[in-house]
A and B are shown apart, each in its own frame.
Chain A
């Protein structure tokens, strides 16, 4: 067992000088980084879909069985009628054997048929997701983008003025903001800016837009949408900004120690040019993948924020589904958010491999 250590190749083997050829043969495509990332993404979505199927059906608390029992008791249905109704709800033929159920369920998922809501019959799960998801994507996306950009600049600034008073203050603020859970940040914002300083009315900020405003491409509507999203966006910004700033600071410090920066200075290149295209670019590179990975945690974090601010995103819909034990909605939301996160990760992987050729060439 122990001798595997000696025989295996060293982990930090210098890259063998294999010629970097981009072959268009089938073998080249199958071995390419992009293809492997794609396969990984598809497999993840497949595994998650399978997992939810068994989760909903095979656990001791069996939601399908509970639903059937309820129907039989409250509406005096026969078992067959209740089962048929449940089949419609869950988007699967529940009378069929398990394996056949699995395949038909999978076919339905591929055709974007995720069944119907248990608590409000006649409403398809997909239509619910289509109504609520855009608001989450909008607010989370905006918050994350703003905090990423501001975080990068703050991090670079901190690295350039390191060990100064400004660096100490910024580092302390950043580390405090990044360590407070976002749902507590939301409460503190409401307390300080809503209750103490009275800068905004918490009640008026509810929902995605004000009741009187007509949706459309009008300035009034767009301003209204932004003012309603402001609170959740501000929370996402505050709770992620500190992390980006600190990571960027470390990354920039690492790059500043590299020889090519010294060489660039020696060549007499302009200070601004060195900061932007030599230091900034290389320091920001590793953060791109982290941005994609963070989307997953922020979507999860949005659950309580949207609930707290009464913002009609997918997180708030999920909380309602949990309270009502609406399993088809829960299952649908889980599948869709997972797919969104997996796709975001895939895009980041591909983008990163374009930005940094070393990723592509290493097997």
Chain B
């Protein structure tokens, strides 16, 4: 105990929070694609969450049915005269919040199971691996479709849980192999020799070294969730708040109204389609840029 107090204390000044964030972001935004991905993602999140707060609900207007683009409705109007632009600006919140929740859950489960399986080994490792192999071997979208007909998914929480419980295996596998290689490093062995405990070693020594890696997989889980969620919405398997329709539901109703075949109503389909498409592309571009910035093997190869 006394030996410890004689050790010189660290005199490094802790950098402020902004400096830390900037240090992490700089290698990403330095490349043009990274900049596009980050700015695009932030813009989408801001619009999706602020849109429903700032912009009032679109009004039904029987004098404005299926009108082409105009000053009042820059992207035209729907069958009941609602402005398509307003619908789309307000339609992202549900999709994004469920996707963020699902992505978080998937990443948590994948990282927790993967690191524990690698760290503990033995029967726990075997059970987790068998379950992962099982899930990887079946067509999860078909399973999801069948499950959604027997389980009520009117609440975001069970929906996210269902999506997460089908999507964790690939992340678990890669986290497991990462931890397996990390735990052979000297500083981990030092921590074990100091008897710091499993919890401390996993949370304080192993996970920080996988931070960029975990964030990349979080983003990929979010894009996966957006895909599956809209898939279920198209099939009519997720109850939708009709007063605040989300992008998937807007596309669905536009399709039943043959909106794509008329010049007046084409944005009814195109605007939400492009919104989802660009959101996915920004997210994936961001993830790939983080990968480029923090994976030296790829950097030297590229």
Contact = CB atoms under 8 A, between A and B. Distances in A.
Interface of A: 1-6, 8, 10-12, 40-41, 43-44, 47-48, 52, 55-56, 59, 61, 63, 162-163, 172, 175-176, 178-181, 183-184, 187-188, 190-191, 195, 250, 253-254, 256-257, 293, 296-297, 299-301, 303-304, 308, 318-319, 322-323, 325, 327, 330-331, 333-334, 337-338, 341-342, 345
Contact of B281 (A8, A48, A63, A180): A180
Given A187-B260, A334-B142, A341-B138, A3 B149 contact: no
B106 interface: no
22 contacts: A2-B201, A3-B192, A6-B189, A6-B192, A43-B134, A55-B147, A179-B277, A179-B281, A180-B281, A181-B230, A181-B276, A181-B277, A254-B301, A296-B139, A303-B231, A304-B235, A325-B149, A337-B139, A338-B138, A338-B139, A341-B138, A342-B137
A44 B131 CA distance: 10
Interface stretch (B10-18, B21-29, B61-69, B180-188): B180-188
Given A181-B231, A187-B273, 17 more contacts: A175-B288, A179-B281, A184-B251, A187-B255, A188-B277, A253-B298, A254-B301, A303-B145, A304-B231, A304-B235, A318-B142, A318-B145, A319-B235, A322-B237, A338-B137, A338-B142, A341-B139
B149 A300 contact: no
B134 A296 contact: no
A12 B184 contact: yes
Interface string B15-56: 000000000000000000100000000000000000000000
B1 interface: no
Interface of A is mostly: helix
Interface in B176-217: 177, 180-181, 183-184, 188-189, 192, 195-198, 201
B59 interface: no
Given A10-B184, A322-B235, A180 B192 contact: no
A299 B139 contact: yes
B301 A257 contact: yes
B108 interface: no
B146 A303 contact: no
A341 B188 CA distance: 40
Contacts of A6: 189, 192
B150 interface: yes
A243 to B, nearest CB: 10
A40 B192 contact: no
Counting chain A CB atoms within 10 Å of each CB, the highest count among B150, B180, B235, B288 belongs to B150
A341 B142 CA distance: 11
Contacts of A331: 146
Contacts of A63: 150
B136 A293 contact: yes
Contacts of A183: 230-231, 234
Interface residues of B, number: 62
A330 B149 CA distance: 10
Contacts of A52: 146
B101 to A, nearest CB: 19
A61 B146 CA distance: 13
B180 A11 contact: yes
B166 to A, nearest CB: 11
B84 to A, nearest CB: 15
Nearest to A301: B141
Given A5-B189, A12-B181, A187-B269, A303 B141 contact: yes
Interface string B263-302: 0001001100100110011011100100000000010011
B119 A5 contact: yes
B11 to A, nearest CB: 31
A299 B134 CA distance: 17
Counting chain B CB atoms within 10 Å of each CB, the highest count among A10, A11, A330, A341 belongs to A11
B133 A179 contact: no
Contact of A184 (B33, B137, B192, B273): B273
The 7 closest A-B pairs by CB, nearest first: A300-B141, A11-B180, A179-B284, A253-B301, A296-B139, A180-B277, A179-B280
B121 interface: yes
Given A187-B269, A333-B142, A179 B283 contact: yes
Contact of B198 (A1, A253, A342): A1
Interface in B91-143: 119-121, 133-134, 136-143
B200 to A, nearest CB: 9
Contact of A5 (B138, B188, B280): B188
Nearest to B182: A11
Nearest to B176: A11
A165 to B, nearest CB: 13
B231 A296 contact: no
Contacts of A163: 302
A361 B184 CA distance: 23
B223 A179 contact: yes
